[in-house]
Amino acid sequence: MASLGVRHTLPGTDYWAPEVFELDRERIFFRHWFYVGRVDGLVDAGDFLVADVAGESIIVIRGKDGELRGFYNVCRHRGSRLCDDEATGRMRGAIKCPYHAWSYSFDGRLVGTPMVGIDEVDRDSLGLWPVAVDTWAGFVFVNLADEPTPLLEALADQDDEPLSFERFGLDDLRVAHRTATDVEANWKIHVENYNECLHCPAVHPELVALVPTYRKGLVIEDGRSDGGVSIANGGTSFTRSGHSSLPAMAGLDDQQANSIYAALVFPNLFIDISATSTVATRLEPLTPTCTRVVTEYLFPPESIADPSFDPTEIIEFNELVAHQDYVVCERAQKGVRSRAFTHGVYPEKDALPYAFDRRYLAARDGN
């Protein structure tokens, strides 16, 4: 019998059962703001990206009026996909279906139906199905709900208070590098792993050498109220040595420059900030037991424009830590599939994963 006060993890089936994943799709990913990419790739009219939102393909495109809009990636004629998965770029003139060449304006109106007379179909009623789009700090979110909560209101309700990160000027940053890895683990395993550091001493020897707080199994530094954790030896960068040739962001005080800040934006965005870079990690749930992890490395435009710009040390160190996480997440995925694993337990230092589980269950169960 469990003692009083023991906090249980989610049941094992919540990490692999198809019926639970369907609930996650409908009640988590289709009803909450889902991060799909940075706005710096969507500057001019016709600039677009195609995002996978837990199996729903969504087009986000910049209109001729300067507005960002989102649409289901589905032609209204016979249901063909309009754009290839994960496509990005710039469309010329219209969104054109490759099947029968029906075309749509960047605001979603049906404007062309070759060999189908204008009196044969009601073009006004056959525009692309819309999806809500909004941006914050240069991050682009979509929401598939019929009446979504305003994005800023949803961000203000986040446990990790990402709105406080506006002080770092994230909207000015640009993507310099991007990686994508398919990891055989449920999306919730990734989030729970991100939210704790009990695993850090065993799994991340290089990381705990960089951030002493993590060596203690903590993600919050004693005596600090700003959410930051200090880099060892006065370091300012997320590299193996803690140092980089790249300049620190303008406007930071000494403590901020010597710190790393992190936040989960429920349900699928991790933000990790150091003085020289920001790493945005996007979870794209593919199946109940597989998640694509897309990592974007963000830097000030003046850093990228410098002929000597070289983010290699930052990228290599972050990818090292990330792949160490992928290994243990895949081990956890295999373990929770056991018939013996009805649930696990959360000790005191697992407060953040436990809080995530409570938030997840409330959203999934409609509370």
What CATH number has the domain bearing residue 245? 3.90.380.10
Domain span holding position 69: 32-155
pLDDT at 1 over 70: no
Distance CA 326, CA 364 (A): 25
Range scoring the smallest mean pLDDT among 4-18, 119-133, 284-298, 340-354: 4-18
5, pLDDT greater than 80: no
Distance CA 239, CA 296 (A): 16
More confident residue, 118 or 346: 346
Give me the pLDDT at residue 250, please. Answer: 87
pTM: 0.96
Does residue 355 lie within any of the structural domains?
yes
Q: For residue 16, give every residue at least 6 positions away whose Cβ sits within 8 Å of its Cβ, in sequence order, or none.
A: 186, 288, 289, 333, 336, 337
Round to whole Å and give the CA distance between 260 and 330. 26
Average pLDDT over residues 178-194: 98
When pLDDT is averaged across residues 243-267 and rounded to a whole number, the result is 95
Looking at 155, 176, 201, the residue that finishes a domain is 155
Write out the two tokens for 119: 């009196």
Q: What is the mean pLDDT of residues 124-141?
A: 98
Last residue within a domain, chosen from 104, 135, 155? 155
Kindly report which listed range (54-63, 105-114, 206-215, 217-226) carries the lowest average pLDDT score: 217-226
Segment (H or E) for 297: strand 290-299
Same domain, 134 and 231: no
131 lies in the same domain as 206: no
Domain count, the chain: 2
**Residue 327 near residue 335 (C-beta atoms within 8 A):** no
